[in-house]
């Protein structure tokens, strides 16, 4: 059965995103499908590290809280949910969510898409795409996740599962899969795949297309930002779509917010690469219809890359980071003196070290901060070394500024964290086999659509 129009929304654009706008989107968006995009480049590696060290789940730690809030609305409205929050352990995540559905008395079936973990498939001696050095030369490898595409999602959509959890599926594929499934798009119709990919790309960061991360004074002002509504697309069978947001919410969807998201994290506009297609973003038409509605149409596609991109996580040492604040008319001078003192004391101890004056040059190198000194100035020192002890030296030396540094420093804060670096490589598509596993409360009558 082929749908005539599909309503697909995005209820999370990163792992730490807000929960209530997704509830509102499902309750009032009239959605067929809601997607939660919860993985960044580094998130699978961090999840894998958590799992390896037993310090937490291999899936998104916020997933349980998110799902507890969404299960009721999903069930009431018959909306299907697709999310990559399965991270390094989609099956574990699916089992956890199935447990939540039982506890809540909400009979939803849950599926997991597996096979993106390619740790056993990559050659550690092969070069990283970024710098050509062997992957293993960067540090001990902790994870390798292949960006899998919509073709891996389709078998899960064929099941009656209402909640589908994936690991490292490419962000736009989370949206393209449901569109291919609803409209019966063939994987050979590259223009349709490109249009679905554009819809996914525009939605994948959730509030970033509806006024979030856009707002400022003047021409970038956004109405009622605190009540930012999350986006949805009304998609036609030819791949044309109208972008809008939950009715009655704050935010704005217009040509400016849509074009800013269309260009976001695009390395080559003529070939926006996903596991599904190479979408030509220079062929996209964007038409502002007014009233928080923008029509997006016309993208053209070319064949997908032969290889799947793989994000490889490696142990990159430990970061020590510490801050101390100074006040008064020579605050900047004393903060600078403190920076020099710490640099000298850590010379030869921490191999990579950086000192910033927050409010002066921490974000933008200082060229626009040449005027009067600020009343307050905060020194920040960050260093990365091979082990925890080295990184702790940063915190210790900034702490020691209390008695051994310039006058009047206060409010020391410090942290030491393990660093997981990420580099990329590729694997042949044929080498990666994905599969779907459905879990859930078998004894119940499962409502599906």
Residue placing its CB nearer to another protein in the complex, 154 or 266: 266
Q: Which of 267, 306, 344, 348 touches another protein by CB under 8 A? A: 267
> Which residue stretch of 53-61, 113-121, 363-371, 425-433 sits at the interface with another protein (rule: CB under 8 A)?
363-371
Residue placing its CB nearer to another protein in the complex, 154 or 259: 259
Q: Between residue 202 and residue 221, which ones bind another protein under the rule CB under 8 A? A: 213-214, 219-220
Q: Judged by CB under 8 A, does residue 358 bind another protein? A: yes
Cα separation, 120 vs 131, whole angstroms: 22
Least distance between another protein and beta carbon 284 (Å):
6
| Residues whose CB is less than 8 angstroms from the CB of residue 235 and which lie 6 or more positions away in sequence, other chains included | 5, 6, 7, 8, 179, 196, 199, 241
Q: Judged by CB under 8 A, does residue 108 bind another protein? A: no
Query: Distance of CA 190 to CAs 150, 187, 278, 428, Å?
Result: 13, 7, 8, 20
| Residues whose CB is less than 8 angstroms from the CB of residue 441 and which lie 6 or more positions away in sequence, other chains included | 98, 101, 102, 107, 109
Cα separation, 312 vs 122, whole angstroms: 9
* DSSP assignment string, 15-52: TT--SHHHHHHHHHS--SEEEE----TTHHHHHHHHHH
Q: Judged by CB under 8 A, does residue 289 bind another protein? A: no
Cα separation, 300 vs 434, whole angstroms: 28
Q: Judged by CB under 8 A, does residue 388 bind another protein? A: no
Let me know the angle formed at the C-alpha of 14 by 13 and 19, rounded to the nearest 5 degrees. Answer: 75
Cα separation, 398 vs 326, whole angstroms: 13
Least distance between another protein and beta carbon 273 (Å):
11
Q: Judged by CB under 8 A, does residue 107 bind another protein? A: no
Least distance between another protein and beta carbon 267 (Å):
6
Least distance between another protein and beta carbon 36 (Å):
20
Q: Judged by CB under 8 A, does residue 285 bind another protein? A: yes
> Which residue stretch of 82-90, 163-171, 184-192, 349-357 sits at the interface with another protein (rule: CB under 8 A)?
349-357
| 395: β partners | none
Helices 255-262 and 190-203 pack at an angle, to 10 degrees, of 110
Chain centroid to CA 347: 36
Q: Judged by CB under 8 A, does residue 356 bind another protein? A: yes
Residue placing its CB nearer to another protein in the complex, 101 or 173: 173
Structure tokens at 10: 């995005």
Cα separation, 58 vs 80, whole angstroms: 23
Least distance between another protein and beta carbon 215 (Å):
11
Specify the 3-state DSSP secondary structure of 173: helix
Residue placing its CB nearer to another protein in the complex, 27 or 288: 288
Q: Which of 352, 388, 435, 449 touches another protein by CB under 8 A? A: 352
Q: Which of 136, 187, 234, 260 touches another protein by CB under 8 A? A: 260
Least distance between another protein and beta carbon 416 (Å):
14
Specify the 3-state DSSP secondary structure of 114: strand
Structure tokens at 434: 């994905």
Quick note: the x/- pattern for another protein over 13-42, rule CB under 8 A, is ---------------------------xxx
Quick note: the x/- pattern for another protein over 128-167, rule CB under 8 A, is --xx------------------------------------
Burial grade of 338 (CB within 10 A; 0-12, 13-18, 19 or more): buried
Least distance between another protein and beta carbon 198 (Å):
11
Q: Between residue 408 and residue 427, which ones bind another protein under the rule CB under 8 A? A: 419-424
Residue 440 is classified by DSSP as: S
Q: Judged by CB under 8 A, does residue 265 bind another protein? A: yes
* Residue pair 385/351 in contact by the 8 Å Cβ criterion: yes
Task: Using CA atoms of 138, 141, 147, 152 in order, give the dihedral in degrees to the nearest 10.
Answer: 160
Q: Judged by CB under 8 A, does residue 399 bind another protein? A: no
Number of residues that bind another protein (CB under 8 A): 53
Least distance between another protein and beta carbon 26 (Å):
27
Residues near another protein (CB under 8 A): 40-42, 45, 130-131, 213-214, 219-220, 255-256, 259-270, 281-286, 316, 319, 352-354, 356, 358, 362-365, 367-368, 380, 382-384, 419-424
């Amino acid at each position: 059965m082929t749908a005539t129009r599909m309503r697909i929304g995005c209820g999370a654009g990163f792992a730490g995103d807000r929960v209530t706008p997704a509830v509102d989107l499902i309750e009032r968006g009239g959605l067929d499908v809601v997607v939660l995009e919860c993985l960044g480049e580094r998130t699978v590696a961090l999840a894998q590290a958590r799992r390896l060290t037993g310090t937490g789940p291999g899936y998104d730690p916020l997933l349980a809280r998110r799902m507890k809030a969404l299960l009721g609305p999903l069930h009431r409205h018959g909306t299907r949910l697709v999310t990559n929050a399965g991270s390094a352990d989609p099956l574990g995540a699916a089992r956890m969510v199935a447990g939540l559905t039982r506890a809540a008395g909400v009979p939803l079936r849950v599926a997991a898409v597996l096979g993106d973990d390619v740790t056993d498939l990559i050659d550690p001696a092969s070069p990283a795409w970024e710098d050509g050095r062997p992957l293993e030369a960067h540090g001990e490898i902790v994870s390798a996740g292949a960006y899998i595409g919509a073709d891996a999602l389709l078998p899960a959509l064929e099941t009656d599962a209402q909640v589908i959890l994936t690991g490292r599926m490419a962000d736009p594929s989370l949206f393209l899969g449901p569109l291919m499934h609803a409209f019966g798009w063939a994987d050979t119709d590259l223009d349709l795949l490109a249009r679905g990919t554009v819809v996914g790309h525009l939605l994948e960061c959730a509030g970033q297309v509806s006024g979030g991360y856009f707002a400022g004074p003047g021409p970038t002002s956004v109405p009622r930002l605190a009540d930012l509504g999350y986006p949805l697309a009304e998609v036609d069978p030819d791949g044309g779509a109208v972008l809008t947001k939950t009715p009655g919410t704050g935010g704005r969807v217009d040509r400016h917010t849509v074009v800013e998201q269309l260009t976001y994290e695009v390395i080559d506009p003529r070939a926006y690469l996903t596991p599904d297609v190479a979408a030509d973003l220079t062929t996209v038409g964007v038409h502002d219809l007014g009233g928080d509605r923008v029509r997006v149409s016309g993208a053209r596609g070319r064949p997908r890359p032969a290889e799947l991109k793989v994000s490889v996580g490696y142990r990159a040492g430990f970061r020590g980071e510490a801050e101390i604040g100074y006040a008064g008319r020579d605050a900047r001078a004393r903060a600078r003196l403190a920076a020099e003192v710490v640099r000298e004391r850590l010379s030869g101890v921490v191999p990579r070290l950086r000192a910033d004056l927050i409010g002066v040059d921490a974000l933008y190198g200082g060229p626009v901060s040449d005027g009067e000194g600020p009343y307050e100035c905060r020194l920040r020192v960050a260093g990365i070394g091979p082990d925890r002890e080295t990184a702790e030296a940063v915190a210790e030396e900034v702490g020691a500024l209390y008695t051994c540094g310039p006058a009047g420093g206060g409010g020391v804060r410090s942290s030491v964290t393990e660093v997981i670096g990420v580099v990329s490589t590729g694997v042949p598509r044929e080498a990666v086999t994905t599969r779907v596993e459905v879990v859930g409360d078998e004894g119940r009558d499962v409502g599906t659509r």
